[in-house]
Amino acid sequence: MNRLFLIVTNPVLRAVMLALTGGFLVFFLCIHITGNYLFFGGAEIYNAYSSFLLGLPVIYAIEAVLVTCILYHAIVGLWQKLRRSRARGYSVQRNAPGSRRNLAARYAHISGIVIAVFLVIHVATMKFGEPGIPGPERDMWGYTLVMFSRGWVVALYVLALTVVGLHLFHGLGTLYESLGIAHRTWLRRTGQGVAIMLGIAYVAFPVLVYVFGGSL
């Protein structure tokens, strides 16, 4: 209990944990988007991938770790934002000349809230909301095709995933600082480059399914 209290209250440990949970979530996003693009390999490959994931004995443990990381990252990140907002001189410092705080950094708390809402809707839709046969034998390929054949659904996903990309741009651009590594421009640029590539890959997926899904 004392260790948990320190992780939440100690500013150094809190920053490190935010970086580690964020880094783990980025690792998950990389794996997740790789699996998503198996969709274009056809129904057999994509459904086999879906069945493999659902059949893993540790799938619920992995999901529990993901939920824990998301909750910690979201709650502590928002709490830090509120604490900084109340600190004297914060608004002056935030907008000071030469500040490296960009648009993604200033509104990271808002993008985090948008992402949290999006995740709830996405999981409810893709994991629990599909029609047809429940369990490992469900046709996830067909369901994904139907989902992203609707223009309004694609538009909402593009909007939400753009917000995800902006949040990643801020998070990966400052990840090394949270781990106590001195500022290095190349590290920041590398993190931001990875965020841009991930953001493009995620935004492109529903668009590509919408445009080319009917010909698969």
What pLDDT, in 10s, does the model give residues 9-22?
Answer: 666 777 778 888 88
Collect contacts of 173-179 with beta carbons under 8 A, ≥24 apart.
Answer: 173/104, 173/105, 174/105, 175/19, 175/22, 175/23, 178/15, 178/16, 178/18, 178/19, 179/16, 179/19
Average pLDDT, the chain: 80
Q: What CA dihedral angle connects 91, 161, 67 and 133, to 10 degrees?
A: 160
Q: Spell out the domains of the chain, with CATH numbers in brackets.
A: 2-215 (1.20.1300)
Burial of 96 (C-beta count, 10 Å sphere; 0-12/13-18/19+)? exposed
Question: Which residue's structure tokens are 């069945």?
Answer: 51
What pLDDT, in 10s, does the model give residues 62-110?
Answer: 889 888 888 888 888 777 777 767 765 544 444 444 445 566 667 777 8
